[in-house]
Amino acid sequence: MRICVCTRVCLRERISIDYRRAVTAMAIIGLLVAVTANAFTAYAIRRPRYVLRRLAGCLQLGAGNNTVSMDEVFFLCLGC
C-alpha cells in the first residue's frame, strides 16, 4: 500500500485551516462578550448596584480570558 507524497502537506493544510477556524470563532465570541461587558459596565456606572458591577466585572474577566486563549491558539497556528 503506497502513501501519497502530498499526505503530509494536505494534513498540515487541514490542521492550519482548523486552527484558523478556531481563531475566527473565538474572535467573534470574544467580540460579543466584550461588547456585552462594556454595555453592562456603562449601565452599572449609571445605576450603581452591586449585582450589576459584579456581572460587568465577570464579563470583563471572561472577555480577557477569551482573548488570552485566542492568542495561544493563534500562536500555535503559526507553528504549523
Cell 453592562 locates to 40
**Which DSSP category does 2 fall into?**
P
pLDDT band at 23 (very low <50, low <70, confident <90, very high): confident
- When divided into structural domains, the chain yields a total of 1
pLDDT band at 19 (very low <50, low <70, confident <90, very high): confident
Residue 71, domain member (yes or no): yes
Residue 1, domain member (yes or no): no
Residue 4, domain member (yes or no): no
Per-residue pLDDT tens digits for 34-53: 999 899 888 888 888 788 88
By residue range, what is the domain housing residue 54?
12-78
Q: What is the pLDDT of residue 80?
A: 62
pLDDT band at 4 (very low <50, low <70, confident <90, very high): low
Cα→Cα distances 22→43, 57, 73, 76, Å: 32, 26, 8, 11
pTM for this entry: 0.72
Q: What is the pLDDT of residue 51?
A: 83
